[in-house]
Amino acid sequence: MKKVHIVGSGFAALTAVRTLRKSNTDIEITLISPKAEFHYLPGTIWIPCHLRKPEGNYSA
C-alpha cells in the first residue's frame, strides 16, 4: 500500500485528496492540518479580487 502525506487543509489539499482517491483506492492518505475542521464560507474567494466586500451577512 502506498502512503501519501498532504500538508495543508485548504482547497488544494481537498482537491489532492479527491484526485488521489479517485485514481487509486488502495492508498493511505494522511492530511496534516493545523485544525481538524475545514471551514468553507461561500463567496469569500471573491474578497481579494474586490468583487465582494468583507462586510456583509455571512451567517452560517
pLDDT over 90 (residue 44): no
Write b or e for each residue in 7-42: b if 16 or more Cβ atoms lie within 10 A of its Cβ, otherwise e.
Answer: eebeeebeeeeeeeeeeeeeeeeebeeeeeeeeeee
Under the banding of pLDDT at 50, 70 and 90, the label for residue 42 is confident
Under the banding of pLDDT at 50, 70 and 90, the label for residue 52 is confident
Domain map of the chain by residue range?
2-46
Per-residue pLDDT tens over the stretch 6-35: 998 888 898 999 999 999 989 999 999 988
Overall pTM > 0.75: no
